[in-house]
Amino acid sequence: MRSINNKRPLSPALAKHGRAKISNSEIAVIHTIRPEVRRESLQIAVPNGWDDVRKLTGKVLVFEGRRFTFTGWNSDSLLCFFHRPIDRETPTATLSK
């Protein structure tokens, strides 16, 4: 098996075959904690700008059992932000159908 550029073979550790499943209910995030302002944050890449952000506005994300609420986005860096206070649970409500 050769690497993508065909210059050298892949090591056996990199040549494993397998299956990956895309989850419809998960999204990649960057998690940060800022104890000096008593806040945790999640950053999400939104490469399509507002088209991606509008799907996330008003949503609550659960990360490691903690709820984060939408707080905004930066159109220059194409990042969307969710926050929660460190010292208490984020107030949320459940929508009834």
Element (H, E) at 96: none
Tokens of 28: 């990649």
Identify the pLDDT of residue 2: 44
Say if pTM beats, i.e. exceeds, 0.75. no
Q: What ranges do the domains of the chain cover?
A: 32-85
Alpha carbons 74 and 64: distance in angstroms, whole number: 25
Mean pLDDT by 10 residues, the chain (97 residues): 51 57 80 92 94 91 90 96 86 71
Identify the pLDDT of residue 27: 87
Identify the pLDDT of residue 3: 45
Alpha carbons 82 and 44: distance in angstroms, whole number: 8
Residue with tokens 């990360």: 63
- What lies within 8 Å, CB to CB, of 83 at 6+ separation is 39, 40, 41, 42, 68, 69, 71
Query: Which three-class secondary structure state does DSSP give residue 12?
Result: helix
Query: Which three-class secondary structure state does DSSP give residue 53?
Result: helix
Identify the pLDDT of residue 8: 59
